[in-house]
Amino acid sequence: MLLDQIADLLSHTFLDIIVLTIWAFANIYALVMLCFKFKKILQIVYFIRTGIKNRWKFLPKPKE
């Protein structure tokens, strides 16, 4: 089974291997970028949530 996979890999042309590696790196890059975007979205959501909580501290207290 493993020998079949190795033979299949060797049967690819050199160009195929280059294209596959570029494709794999592009996928990894896309995943990393997606993670960064998701992290930024989480930061914005966290900022909004803490801003709503802290806003009451900054508002002047109503005079009784």
Q: Looking at residue 4, what is its pLDDT?
A: 80
User: Is 35 or 58 the better-scoring residue by pLDDT?
Assistant: 35
Q: What is the C-alpha to C-alpha distance for residues 28 and 8, in angstroms, rounded to an integer?
A: 24
Pseudo-torsion of CA 26, 30, 36, 38, nearest 10°?
Answer: -170
2-56 pLDDT, tens digit per residue, is 778 777 777 767 778 788 888 889 988 998 888 888 888 888 888 877 777 666 6
Q: Looking at residue 44, what is its pLDDT?
A: 83
Find all residues with CB under 8 Å of 38, minimum gap 6, and list them: none
